[in-house]
Structures are given as C-alpha cells and as structure tokens.
Amino acid sequence: LFVTYCVLIRLLKMNKVLWIYMMPVFIVCVSPVPSGISSIVHLIKQWSLLGVDDYPMPKEFLNTQELIKREGYDVEIHEVTTEDGYILTLTRMVPKDVPPGPRAPVMLVHGVVAASDQWVLRGKHQDLAFLLSDQGFDVWLVDARGNVNGRRHKHLSPGDPRFWDFTFTESALYDLPAFVDCILNVTGAPKIGYIGHSMGTTIFFIFASMRPEYNSKIFWIRSSRTSWAKIPDGPDPDVCDENDVHEA
C-alpha cells in the first residue's frame, strides 16, 4: 500500500505537505472501513512524531495575517462597519523589537479581485508592506467589500444578490472613510499616507472628489496605474465586448 501510494505521489508530483494530507484519504479509499480507521489512527501517531514545523504550510494556503506572522511580525486585527452595513477588516503590521515611538500610518489598498495578501505574498525584503514597516511606517492593509476577506454584512449574506449591488463608487464613499477613521482613531495620528494599486487608485480619486472633508487627513498618496485591458486576439472577442472590456 505504501509503495503504491509513493508511486502515485511521484507521478502526480505532489509536495510533502499534500503527501501528508492525502495519506488518510488514500487509506480510506483503498481499505475496508475498520482497518482504514485503524491505519489513520496509527498515521496520526506517527505524524505527531514528525512535528508540524517539519512540513510548513505552503504560502498559497495562508491568509494575510499568517503570511505576516510567518515573517516574524505580529498583527492586530481591526474591524469596521461601513455606513451601508458591510463589515470589513484592517490588518495592522506590528514589527517586533521596535523601540516605542510615533510611526506614520500608511494604508495600502489592493486592486480589483485581489485582497490584502497581495502586499505580503513574496515575503520580507521584497513586498512593499514589509519594506515600509522596516523603514519605520505603521502599515495598515485593508480588505474592501466583496473580496475573499470582505464577505460580511449586518443584514445581507453573499448569497443575496443585494450584497453584490455595489460599484467602485460605494467602495470609495463608504469603505475608505471607515478605514481612515479607524486608523486615525487607533493611532491618534492627524493624517495617514495612502498607497493604492489599480482599483485602490481609482477609488481614492472618487473618495477625494466626493468626500473632500477627508482630503486634509491624507498627507501623501502613491498610486499605480488605474486600469489597463487589451482585447486579446482570441477566438471569441465578443466576450470582451459583452463585458465592456476595452483597451484603455
């Protein structure tokens, strides 16, 4: 049985973590139920001898907070409720062994169909969030409504079409003010820095235009390209036209 499984793993080119996770499933599938359960119990006992640290979880399976902690930083989780009822999360990076003192807060806002983990996926010395933190900034990563970490609402569930009835305008009018207010209240700072990527840039300019009372609370902004889409030379260009995708 073990040899057969090893051959399958070799063929599938699976990594060691999946090797461990898939072993109980494989045993149950090819063994009678009683012996399968017995084998799983034995496997768990052997697994405990290996130690979890011998097989660290791949980065692809970690959330934002776990990715940050993996690099030796602490995190604070803060929640805000927007004026229209969305419950959103801010992740504050807390570097260890840093002398107490004021650190200028900076808010990083992700792009469309992305999440806060885009700022920390590659790790320390590479991703912007870590670089800013190491340079003495108080780094805050936000998750806007509708992304994988933004699926909560006071009254609506993601299964309700009304949950998804929003645009960049609502993110700008409601999400960003809630984020800014939270950061200013927690830190006591008079202003924050803002870094936006793609959608994060677009909603900032909507925010600055339609909520001008917040402009005095932003001491600088760094923005990347807002949007770029090129219709591919594919077999079905009508898909792009139907979804209003055009080269910008």
> Who has greater pLDDT, 196 or 231?
196
Residue 53's pLDDT band (boundaries 50, 70, 90)? very low
**Is 247 a residue whose pLDDT tops 50?**
no
> Who has greater pLDDT, 118 or 21?
118
Across 1-126, where does the E strand assignment appear? 74-81, 86-94, 105-109
- The CATH homologous superfamily to which domain 62-223 belongs is Alpha/Beta hydrolase fold, catalytic domain (3.40.50.1820)
CA angle at 196 for the pair 146 and 224, rounded to the nearest 5°? 120
Convert the pLDDT of each residue in 160-196 to its tens digit: 999 999 999 999 999 999 999 999 999 999 999 999 9
Which residues have a Cβ under 8 Å from the Cβ of 86 and sit 6 or more positions away? 145, 150, 152, 153, 154, 174, 175
Residue range 1-14: mean pLDDT, rounded: 54
CA distance 223 to 202: 9
Contact 147, 157 (CB under 8 A): no
Q: Where are the domains of the chain?
A: 2-56, 62-223
What pLDDT is attached to residue 99?
73
* CA distances for 228 relative to 115, 198, 231, 244, angstroms: 19, 9, 10, 13
Contact 177, 88 (CB under 8 A): no
> Who has greater pLDDT, 30 or 222?
222
Convert the pLDDT of each residue in 132-158 to its tens digit: 999 999 999 999 999 999 999 999 999
Report the length, in residues, of the chain. 248
| Reported pTM | 0.70
* Averaged pLDDT score across all residues of the chain: 79
Contact 69, 95 (CB under 8 A): no
CA distance 19 to 190: 51
**Which residue do the tokens 């320390």 mark?**
124
For the ranges 73-87, 90-104, 222-236, the lowest mean pLDDT is seen at 222-236
**Which residue do the tokens 């169909």 mark?**
113
**Is 54 a residue whose pLDDT tops 50?**
no
DSSP state of 182: H
